[in-house]
Structure 1
Amino acid sequence: MASNKAFWGIVTAAAVGAVIGLLFAPDEGNKTRKKIKKKTNSLAGELLDALEKSKEKAVKVADEAKENGTQYKDEAIDAADEYIDDAKKEINKYN
């Protein structure tokens, strides 16, 4: 969580810094707007890349959790089957 907050803090600071820098640049308005648009598109691309990586990581973690859950379920079923078989053997001893 802390790394996510730090990441978003850096992204936000970079975006604000870039916009402020461009606004105070001595270029004409048209050039400044083009620079802002280019920088915004660049930051948006970086943000989308970061979101995609986060999504991939979340999917990987979810898949691992599902796989572990399935394994634990199968182990529990096997153990329950063994207990049932043992119980049936004990009951048959008295019949």
Structure 2
Amino acid sequence: MKSTSKILLGVITAAAAGAVIGMLFAPDKGNEIRSKVKKTANELADELLNAIRRGKSQYQDTKDELRNKAYELKGKAQQKFDDIAEEADEQYNATKKKLQVS
């Protein structure tokens, strides 16, 4: 787990714990407290799911970008190799021709 994920999870956990503790000390009835705890837990779960979705989307975007860069670099390397191979063939043929003439 990356440090950003750990920090996010820690913040969400601390917020949930703070909300629960705050509600437990509130002068409300048991049913009201349970309702508030449930509502808060659902809201925090929604926030966590949204954060996970954003992270997954960012991961996919980064993965796609890196894949595209890799294909681009592969294409450039292949072109460079082809250019060098062509130049080597030309040099070989020129040298061979010179040797045959001599």
TM over 0.5: yes
Q: CA deviation at 1:5?
A: 3.5
Scaled by the length of structure 2, the TM-score of the pair is 0.85
Q: Does 1:91 align with 2:76?
A: no
Mean CA deviation greater in 71-80 or 21-30: 21-30
Q: CA deviation at 1:39?
A: 0.3
Map 1:46-57 onto structure 2 (within 5 A): 46-57=47-58
Distance 1:39 1:17 in 2: 11
Mean CA deviation greater in 67-76 or 9-18: 9-18
What runs of 5+ residues in structure 1 fail to find an aligned partner?
Answer: none
Name the % identity: 39
Q: CA deviation at 1:43?
A: 0.3
Distance 1:75 1:3 in 2: 35
Q: CA deviation at 1:11?
A: 1.3
Q: CA deviation at 1:61?
A: 0.8
Residue 26 of structure 1 aligns to a residue whose secondary structure is coil
User: Which structure has the bigger radius of gyration?
Assistant: 2
Q: Does 1:30 align with 2:31?
A: yes
Q: In the alignment, which residue of structure 2 is the partner of 1:74?
A: 75
Scaled by the length of structure 1, the TM-score of the pair is 0.90
User: Which residue type is aligned with residue 45 of structure 2?
Assistant: A
Q: How many residues align?
A: 95
User: Which residue type is aligned with residue 59 of structure 1?
Assistant: Q
Q: In the alignment, which residue of structure 2 is the partner of 1:20?
A: 21
Distance 1:62 1:2 in 2: 19
What runs of 5+ residues in structure 2 fail to find an aligned partner?
Answer: 98-102
CA RMSD of aligned residues (A): 1.3
Distance 2:32 2:9 in 1: 28
Q: CA deviation at 1:2?
A: 4.6
